Chains A and B, each alone.
With several copies, the nearest count.
Chain A
Amino acid sequence: MAIEMVYFAWVREAIGRDGETVDPPDDVTTLGALVDWLAQRGDGYREALGDPDRLRGAVDQVFAPFDASIEGVKEVALFPPVTGG
């Protein structure tokens, strides 16, 4: 199942791109599992995604915890805690 990934702030900078299409294996069914799977891709990914405490996510443009299901979703975003306002 193809998922559109989007990255923001220093997550985007560490990975070196603002998004990509990924196709995780079938046993990757939650946001947290997706993060772990992506973190294995190499240095930039590990730096961006290695510390879940500093990481937040959204599934189909709604904030989601790491145990949220990603089955059937189209877009997943990863980013630092927000700092707007």
Chain B
Amino acid sequence: MTIEIRLQQEQFDVARELALLEAGDAGAVASFTGIVRGDDDVEALELEHYPGMTEKALTALAEEASERWAVSGLTIVHRVGKLQKGEPIVFVGTASAHRADAIEAMHFLIDRLKTDAPFWKREHLTAGGARWVEARQADEAARRRWM
């Protein structure tokens, strides 16, 4: 069982993350990549996080996933700092002998990461200035699916 959790400012390489998961003779690898979007008035995104707590929170989610599903590998990479539109922001990958375990563990991790990890997004506007992104009710609803 391999758990890989990273916070980083620089871009990550999805191919490299997947190759690590595929190398474990798992049979099934599932992944999710979140990409910076934004309305036309948004120029860039900034990710603030809680140093010290963030990796602990992500590790706790990964450990819960590894108890609930038969997974042999879990990877979470989350970027922090200023990101441009179109850049990847988060990667969640899972490896398992069984495709349902890989897919459900991945789905759990990205849903719970949205509500249970201390990150805050701020949008930098094309017209200047910035605004904090509001939390979404839909994310709270998605979280309850895993209770």
Contacts and interface: CB of A to CB of B under 8 A. Distances in A.
Direct contact of A and B (CB under 8 A): yes
Interface of A: 6, 8-10, 58, 61-63, 77, 79-85
A84 B49 contact: yes
A85 B119 contact: yes
Nearest to A85: B114
A63 B116 CA distance: 8
Contacts of B141: none
A8 B50 CA distance: 8
20 contacts: A8-B120, A9-B120, A61-B50, A61-B52, A77-B50, A80-B135, A81-B135, A82-B114, A82-B115, A82-B135, A83-B121, A83-B135, A84-B47, A84-B90, A84-B114, A84-B117, A84-B119, A84-B121, A85-B90, A85-B113
